[in-house]
Amino acid sequence: MSAPTPPIPAPGSPPAAGDASAPLPGPRKAADAPPAFALLAGLLGFLVITVDVSGVNIALPAIRSTLHGGMADLQWVVDAYTLMFAALMLSAGSFADRSGARRAYAIGVAFFTVASVACALAPGIGTLIAARVVQGSAAAVVMPASLALIRQTYDDPGRRARAIALWSVGGSLAMAIGPVLGGVLTETAGWRAVFLLNLPVGALILALLTRVPASARRHVPFDPAGQASAVLALAALAYAVIEGGHAGRLTWQSGIALGVALAAALAFRTAEARHSAPMVPLEMLRQREVVVTLTVGFAVNAAYYGTIFLLGLYYQQLRGMSGTVAGLMFVPTAAVITAVNILSPRLADRYGRRPVIVWGQALLALAMAALLVLGPGTPAWLVLVLLLPFGISAVTVPALTALLMDSVPGHRAGTASGLLNAMRQTGGALAVALFGTLLARPADGGFSVGGLHLSLALAAALLCATTLLARLMLPRD
């Protein structure tokens, strides 16, 4: 639940291992370099793009204080990243295929690093949001390309499976260290240090890539109309939610944005129906298992990332915790999520995927309901206890991913993975957009306990609906 989904590449499956082109020049042939170079490079990239989701949440109050942005601006600091991450994920795999995994990964890391520096140097909230757009776009390239790099490096299926498992767990670890790192850096060196940290990490990744074999390239048709309409639909929908919620009613701006989102969604459907190699084949969306898994993935991430956003502000704005302490409050839950992600495949093998998906969601809905007791004076130990079911419910995502992969043909695995990741990121982005509008007090923009409770209740209700959907629509194992 805590990290972008599975050991399957995004759209446009990467070349199989062994397709690497001639080795790079240098004192030692890249082809002779230990595969650990590729694994470490891929893992670091996955870590850094995930930390930039969890760590930045803790830095939001400090950003607001320095750049004087409102709640809507803070929402866009988060959503500008996640929306572009979600929308561009659909075609990022194809870019990796056309350019080669190593080249695409290097380009993504380079742009991500430069955008991080721009975030750190941002003189105003608008500049920061613009830089976050570039960051999210680059992250969409980094995620599938990092996995493709690992897949091409390990010829042996067993070693490759272990490497991919390490890569996958890395995302969970990033969610654990992200809030702590964000809190410590914000409190000791300022929020800009959260972004500047990406500079040495990016440089290390690029250095490691010089010891990794070059990747083969192959022609994959691009779908510009589908990509453009997907980005426009998601951005317009998020804007409508933020603008309408901030005003407390449907304004003419939010109404226009909703109209643009609907028109863009219809344009996306038309583009996919007409394109010879669409990002999302429409026949895939007619499969019951695919529709259910995508819907559940959307709901789970909406609850998870929405809650992380809520708690980051709750700890600091309402409870008065420092950034470091607020970050440490996430550690026990993140540790549970990491462990559960490892155990989930075993539970699915023993009990079946359908029960794991159904009960995992039910547990997450229960966790959302339990958090309704949160208030200004709730003991910290009780908050940590109430968050334990939140972490345990992470069993859902690995089982959900495996079910989706079994529901589509092998040559559609990359597309299905990219679509699931896009839906999950979209769920998180829209939850932040909606919850942020509910959280702000209309009078002074401060923290609203009522908005916190309403947001948690909405998340619980959504999960109850998708739990019932999975229970009724998914086949028995």
- Tell the CATH topology of 30-223+277-473: Growth Hormone; Chain: A; (1.20.1250)
d(CA 402, CA 134): 31
pLDDT confidence tier of residue 33, bands split at 50, 70 and 90: low
d(CA 465, CA 461): 6
d(CA 425, CA 305): 9
pLDDT confidence tier of residue 249, bands split at 50, 70 and 90: low
Rounded mean pLDDT of 3-18? 36
Q: Which residue, 134, 167, 151, is CA-closest to 341?
A: 167
Q: List C-alpha distances in Å: 228 to 84, 263, 269.
A: 11, 12, 12
Residue owning tokens 């069993």: 395
Q: Which residue has the higher pLDDT, 81 or 11?
A: 81
pLDDT, tens only, 384-433: 998 888 888 878 887 887 788 777 775 565 567 667 877 887 888 788 87
> In the predicted model, is pLDDT for residue 277 greater than 60?
yes
- pLDDT for the residue 22: 36
- pLDDT for the residue 469: 94
Backbone angles phi, psi at 440, to 5 degrees: -80, 135
447 three-state secondary structure: strand
Residue owning tokens 């939140």: 390
Asked if 289 and 407 count as a contact pair (C-beta separation under 8 A), the reply is yes
Backbone angles phi, psi at 7, to 5 degrees: -80, 55
For the chain, how far is it from start to end, CA to CA, in angstroms? Answer: 22
Rounded mean pLDDT of 12-30? 37
- pLDDT for the residue 364: 92
Rounded mean pLDDT of 207-216? 80
Q: List C-alpha distances in Å: 415 to 123, 271, 418, 423.
A: 39, 16, 5, 12
**Residue 424: beta bridge partners?**
none
- pLDDT for the residue 20: 35
pLDDT confidence tier of residue 460, bands split at 50, 70 and 90: very high
d(CA 295, CA 271): 22
- pLDDT for the residue 12: 35
| Mean pLDDT of the chain, nearest integer | 80
- pLDDT for the residue 458: 94
Q: Which residue, 30, 131, 132, 137, is CA-closest to 80?
A: 132
d(CA 202, CA 205): 5
pTM for this one? 0.73
pLDDT, tens only, 156-194: 666 665 676 677 667 667 766 787 888 888 888 899 999
Write down how long the chain is.
Answer: 477
